[in-house]
A and B are shown apart, each in its own frame.
Chain A
Amino acid sequence: NAGVTQTPKFRILKIGQSMTLQCTQDMNHNYMYWYRQDPGMGLKLIYYSVGAGITDKGEVPNGYNVSRSTTEDFPLRLELAAPSQTSVYFCASSHQGANYGYTFGSGTRLTVV
């Protein structure tokens, strides 16, 4: 099993550009999450989904959008990239909410210049 797969691994964007960070999981997990991690800071929840067709905001959703059309895929869209969105983005999934921990993808390292 591949687990949680994120693409791309690295990306440099110019201010104002848009991009989609891809996340897919093959574990048939209902719950999926997007976090960002800034240096010296804990992971902050951007958006989450409890199943196909259902998404909701986390702590830091501004500047991002998500969709969940299938159980497997949970893409994160950045519109009008800003330097404040320079970060490492992690996608994660879990089978039954948060009681058994998450499986993380390997991350996308994004720089906005």
Chain B
Amino acid sequence: GDSVTQMEGPVTLSEEAFLTINCTYTATGYPSLFWYVQYPGEGLQLLLKATKADDKGSNKGFEATYRKETTSFHLEKGSVQVSDSAVYFCALLNNAGNMLTFGGGTRLMVKP
């Protein structure tokens, strides 16, 4: 079945540092890929998406590129802020379009 693997956290960075959170997936066909962010005590917010190979999703300074050859969708940001502290989930949507499979989540802590 489909699966998503994320790097385990927590990831602790200083403000303005470069962020990478690794995400790899296993799926049949051509799934759509997403990054969601969850702030403490809140629901999930869609951060960015990519629907086909080589697509780059971007939002709020975050970027991720759909790499089919390496089955990866790594999240990057050039300069993190304290307000970026949250849990980040990588997810894929199956070919039937009705089921999101999530990675385990990566907690990011940004210190001033």
Partners in one complex: no
